[in-house]
Structure 1
Amino acid sequence: MSVTVWQVAEVPGASVQPSCDHLETGDPPLPEPLGCAECLRGGGRWVHLRQCLTCGHVGCCDSSPGQHAHAHARPGHDVGRPLEQGETWAWCYTDEAFLRPARRR
């Protein structure tokens, strides 16, 4: 499994910049079928999908009625990424911080 190292995205103009202790994660494979596990089981709907970078679980975003990705987040499952093509960020639910891939040297 490859490893992605993330860095916290700075917030312009913020007096205190966010921090995060969950910056190194494995890259789980894309799930099949592609959809929120809880919504698929219960007949719900989602707006966007988020994948847990610890276990690969797919849940729906906070704009979705179920907010299953947020509900899945807990210690050890802190960081999720969007599954939309071209999206290259992640969100740490624990530290409430946007993350972006660190530049490779």
Structure 2
Amino acid sequence: MHGCSHTSDLPAVEPEPLAKTCEECLALGQHPVQLRLCLSCGHVACCDSSPSRHATAHSHATGHPVMRSFEPGESWRWCYRHRSLV
């Protein structure tokens, strides 16, 4: 893992999750797979293993570059712009 320029732009305190699961999946009647938390705004969405890839869609729509796993016991982070762990 390495740092990237986008981590310095993140809020000093991690945002509160806006939901407990991917509400976009629920609205579509889909089962969320592997949740992700946007570290810019707290949006919770599903990973790329889900049919609709809502976390990636959120990053592309908002420009928010870094998310972390929202799964119990996991804390890794991903930068969508650099396509790498940070």
Shorter-chain TM-score range: 0.7 to 0.9
Q: TM-score of the superposition, structure 2-length normalised?
A: 0.82
Quick check: 1:85 aligned with 2:69? Answer: no
Could you tell which deviates more after superposition, 19-28 or 38-47?
Answer: 19-28
Q: Kindly indicate which of the two structures has a greater share of residues assigned to helix.
A: 2
Q: Which runs of 5 or more residues in structure 2 are unaligned?
A: none
Which whole-Å CA distance do the structure 2 matches of 1:35 and 1:66 have between them? 14
Q: Which runs of 5 or more residues in structure 1 are unaligned?
A: 1-8, 11-18, 100-105
Q: Aligned residues, how many?
A: 82
Alignment RMSD, CA only?
Answer: 1.7
- Corresponding residue of 1:15: none
Q: Kindly indicate which of the two structures has a greater share of residues assigned to strand.
A: 1
Work out whether residues 51 and 80 of structure 1, in 8 Å CA contact, stay in contact via their aligned partners in 2. Answer: yes
Match of 1:96 among 69, 83, 86: 83
The sequence identity of aligned pairs, in percent, is 46
Larger radius of gyration: 1
